[in-house]
Structure formats: C-alpha cells, structure tokens
Structure 1
C-alpha cells in the first residue's frame, strides 16, 4: 500500500507563521504598554510611590498595633489612622523643605549666572586658550533663565503629586482589611492564595529593607557633605546636603552627580582649583565609602542585584518616567526579582537580575513573614 509523504513543509510554514504572529503581538503589546506608561506617567508615578509608601508602613502599623496602653492594646484601625497621619505629615513636611531648597538653589543660581561660565571654562584651561574661549562662548550662549523657569514649573508639580499620593495611600489603607479576602476570591485556591500572599510579603519586606538602608546611608552621606561644605565655607551647604541625600536614592548616577555638583559650587564660589580638587576628592571618598562599602555590606545577599541590571532598569525607567523613574527603578527591579524567582518559567530572568545568580528560593519565601523591620515576630498576638 502506498502512503502519501508527510507534509513537513506545510507544518513548518504553519509553525513559522505562528511564531511570527506571536512575536508581532508581543511587540504590539509592548508598544501599547509603553505608550500608556508615558501618557499616564503622572498618575502612575504617584500610584507607584503610594504603593511603596503603603508597603513601607505595613510594618509600622503592625508595630503600633502591638503596643499596649496599660491593659489595652492599640486597635488596628487606630494604628492605621496614626500611620496615615504620620505619612501625610512627613510627605507635606518633606515637600515644603524640598521646595524651599529648590527655591534657594534657583535664586542662588541666578546670582551665579554671570560668573559661573568663566569659572567652568577655567577648568578647561589645560586644553589651551582657544578651547577655553570656545567653551566660555558656548556657556554664555545658554539661556539660564529659561532652564530655571522650566525647573520651577516642574517643582510646582511636586505639591500636586504629594496630595495625590496621600489620597492613594488613604484609599489603600481603607482597602487593607479586605486584601486577603479579595486575593482568595481572585486565585480561587487557598494554598495558592497563601503562596501569592507570601510572595507579596517578600516583595514588601525587601523593598522596605532596601529603602530603610538607603535612607540611613543617604542621610549619613548628606550630613557629611553638609559638614564638608560648611568646613570650606560654601554658601549652599544646607542645600548641597539635602540634594545629596535625595540624589543618593538614584543608584550609581546620583552619587556621581552629587559629587560633581559640590565641586562645581566650590569652584564657582571660591574660584581656586586646588580647593576645588580637595572638595571633589573628599566628597568622592565619602560617596565611595558609603556607597560601595557600607551600603552593600548592610544590604546583604537578599538584595544583591546585578549592577548591569540596575543600569538597564535605571535607563529604561528614566527614559519612560524621567527623574522619578530613576528613583523608582530599584524598587521595581526588586519586585521583578522576587516575582521571577517564584515563577518557574521566569526564574532564568531572576538569575540574570541577581548579582551572583542566586535569586530567592522557595525556602526563603517564609522568612519575611516571620519578622518585620523592627525585628519582632509579625505573627505574635
């Protein structure tokens, strides 16, 4: 009996067509998501910040709820309200301080506008007189007032974002008590819902720990830069300390910008190359010790992210959301690392995102639930 030969060519063409269609759909989906991320950036940045602040206060709420006033225990509702009031007060205070320092920097920059080009151009005197003159002419052609107006208009949006973040956090607190019920209804399986809840708790714990360590290191670095600026008699010592504190939340690039900024201010104010070099060197040593030695030592292996992955995340979210995206890049990367660690098909991405190729294991999944940032048992009654 004769048999028809298998139609391998047709099946191969069909499989290739399916792969092309899948690839095209993925590209279209990525383009649509990217478009939505850019167009709704203000709301999404505020929402992402609110979620991070909400997760950051989860341990605070549990800590307050465990406290006792005599024989009485603080109700969870009262603890949530207290945490909400603390968040609102802290955000409004930080916003007012930041806007005041931005205003100080802008006003001072206007007073430096005339002598700054000459001071900066003098840094390139070693290239020759012609090069120094060309750089001086280029700097003088820059309209500083336009840039300052743009910076002032962006700074005014900080207050609006703060109010929106407070509203988002308030609604998240209102939904907090129903989260486990919603998660169970969404997943449908109790065991799977508990596993998803543990993954979420792991994300919250690791992001909180990252922010806690980063805040402490950034505060110490900012204080040391303030002392350094004061020692050299710089007019913007307070502003430089606060700006250094804020910039250090941007991985890698923030510390470089902060170091270059204090050196530039020192050169414009003092005008002596030797002093500028001394300020630059001391600030560089401070940033290196705090950022490259103390910071990784405190972070521990659980948060040892790939340096190349951090740069990619920084570049992507910086391009999509600008400077706020740079601040959020590492928390987003931590979230992706934890999620990819517990999804079998995505675990290779977790290996790439981790520094030593050792992402979180299933055994580590239970650890964040046992203790909070205050070192106390989160399950204790």
Structure 2
C-alpha cells in the first residue's frame, strides 16, 4: 500500500468516525429501527420455516405473530422497568447511607481512622444521581420509540423490493451472486449470534431472578431484566450482571449470608454460562478475536453509548465478512479473526 493510499484511507476512516459521532441523533433511531426489523423478520422466518415441528405459518400470519410476540415482550420489559425505576431511585439514598456505613466499618477493621466517603470513592458521583441519569437515558429511548417503529415499518415495505432493485443495480453478471452470497453469510452469522445470545440471556435472567427472589432481594424482577440486557454486552456485561445485584444485596441486608449466596451462586452461573456454555454452543461460527471484541466494545461504546455496546459484536461480524471479500482488505479481516481463518472471497 502506497503512502498516498494509506493517507486516503486514514482520511476516510477519520471522516466516517466524525460522521458517526456528529450524526448520532439521526443515526441511532434508524439503527434501532434496523435492529427491530431484523429481529421481527428473523422471528417470522422461524414461524414460517420452523426447525422443530411441522407447524408452518404462511408468511403474513408468521409476520403478524412475530410482531405480536415482539410487541408483547417489549411491553412487559418496559412495564417492568417503568414500575421499578422510580422505586429504585427513591430507595437509592437509603442504599447509599447503608453503603457508607459498610465502608466505615471496613475502614475501622483495617485500622483507618477517617474512612473515605462514597463521593470520594466514586469521584463525587452520587448513586442517586447516577440512577437518575440512567432513568433519564431510558426515558430518552422511550421518546424515540415511535420513530424507531416507523423506520422498522418502512424497512418491511422496502424489503419486498430490495432484491429486485439489487438485481437491477448489479445486472446479470456474477456480482449479483457474489453480493447475495455475502448478504446470506452475514444474515446466517448474525442470526446464530442473536439466537444463542437471547436463549442464554433468558436462561441466565430466569436463574438470576430465582436466586435473588429466594433470598428476598429488593426489585428482583427489575434486576433480572437488567441481567438479561447485560448479557448482550461482551465481557463487561457479565461483570456488571454479577456486581450490581451482589452490591445491592450487600447494602440491603445486615448479614453477609444473602450477599454470599447471590455472589457465589449467581456468579458461578454467570461465569459458567458466559465462558463455558456459550463458547461451546457458539463454536467457531463468529471466529472473532477476544481482543478485537473488547476494542470494538470500547470504540462503539464511545461513539454510540450503550446502544453501541450492544451492537459492537454484530457490527464487527459484518465488517469481518465484508473485508474478507476483497484482496486489499483481507489482511484486516485476518487480524479481526480469532485464528486467521476467514470466509473465502465470493467469485
């Protein structure tokens, strides 16, 4: 690669990053609309061509069933979060005072006369203010929900004509087969990722609720929903899913038994699921380097916040498959992969 071409690529990458950050307000609703459309379409395909059983629904009925199920799930999740966020924020000062008492007791045990305050430990960030910020962010997501639904609806309309327009653009040459093969590969890998992640997230969330409810943790249903979403965030999500309920249990009860139960039992479930079960089921289908996943998490989290953290793996998978199709970018795809094995270019 010549110096001129390298400089051109650097300019393109810098301009793209700037547009992604500057256009965040316009791009995020559209991206979320794509996610919603894709999940409904994948669920409708599962009803239309089931892997198990012989009940096959016609496409219109499969689509209606998928919309009803997805809408019902979003309503249940939204209602659960909405009913608990206000209560969590109201209880936050009590948890903060309890946590300060625990810090003071721990400081006396180690011989520290003046224990640091929570504000000093967390750079003067109040727990109540933090939870209020989270609630505000959730409210902003709800405020753009209408736009997201509209985008998803128009994507379904566009889906009907997309293949025909793609054929017109690419003509009758082999480019059409090549592009369609790449799109099919992307679709397959993303669906495998979503199916496995969603199944394991639901199982982990149900087990988390069982553990927390058995010891009497406050807002167990709310934290179970949070555990479900945390599971989609690579690495960091698994840590948050363990730490957040465990810390709440620690500040809620006067003894360590509930804390140890939640930490050890649920921590073991989370670690085994994320580090043993998921890799065994996922296998080599995605073949992403763990370092690349972490870097992608940081980059997309910086660009698009929490939404970027959720989408970092699918975006990286798409990038790897596309980069593998061109000789000039195949070395980059090799670096993104876990073992250097990447899809062969489509001819």
Q: Is the 2:81–2:222 contact (alpha carbons within 8 Å) kept by the matching residues of 1?
A: no
**Rg larger in structure:** 1
- What's the CA shift for 1:295? 0.6
5 Å-filtered alignment, 1:255-294, equals: 255-273=238-256, 275-294=258-277
Deviations 1:149-179 (A, max 9, x none): 3223212112123222211110010011111
The structure 1 residue matched to 2:9, chosen from 17, 26, 32, is: 26
User: Structure 2: any 5+ residue segments left out of the alignment?
Assistant: 51-55
The structure 1 residue matched to 2:33, chosen from 50, 57, 63, is: 50
In 2, Cα distance between equivalents of 1:43 and 1:92? 25
Paired residues in the alignment total: 340
Q: Is the 1:340–1:350 contact (alpha carbons within 8 Å) kept by the matching residues of 2?
A: yes
> Secondary structure of 1:219's match?
helix
Deviations 1:271-308 (A, max 9, x none): 33454344322222111111111111111211232110
2:278 is the counterpart of 1:333: no
5 Å-filtered alignment, 1:226-245, equals: 226-245=209-228
TM (normalized to structure 1)?
A: 0.79
Q: Is the 1:351–1:358 contact (alpha carbons within 8 Å) kept by the matching residues of 2?
A: yes
- What's the CA shift for 1:57? 3.4
- What's the CA shift for 1:110? 3.6
The structure 2 residue matched to 1:91, chosen from 45, 52, 74, is: 74
In 2, Cα distance between equivalents of 1:235 and 1:226? 11
CA 1:77–1:219: 2 relative to 1, 3 Å: closer
2:191 is the counterpart of 1:208: yes
CA 1:94–1:194: 2 relative to 1, 3 Å: farther
- What's the CA shift for 1:81? 4.9
In 1, Cα distance between equivalents of 2:57 and 2:251? 55
Q: CA RMSD in A?
A: 2.8
TM (normalized to structure 2)?
A: 0.86
The structure 1 residue matched to 2:120, chosen from 115, 133, 138, is: 138
Which range moves more in the overlay, 140-149 or 337-346? 140-149
In 1, Cα distance between equivalents of 2:230 and 2:74? 17
5 Å-filtered alignment, 1:1-381, equals: 19=3, 21-65=4-48, 76-77=59-60, 79-123=62-106, 127-130=110-113, 133-135=115-117, 138=120, 142-273=125-256, 275-361=258-344
Which range moves more in the overlay, 290-299 or 220-229? 220-229
- What's the CA shift for 1:242? 1.3
Q: Is the 2:89–2:128 contact (alpha carbons within 8 Å) kept by the matching residues of 1?
A: no
In 1, Cα distance between equivalents of 2:57 and 2:211? 44
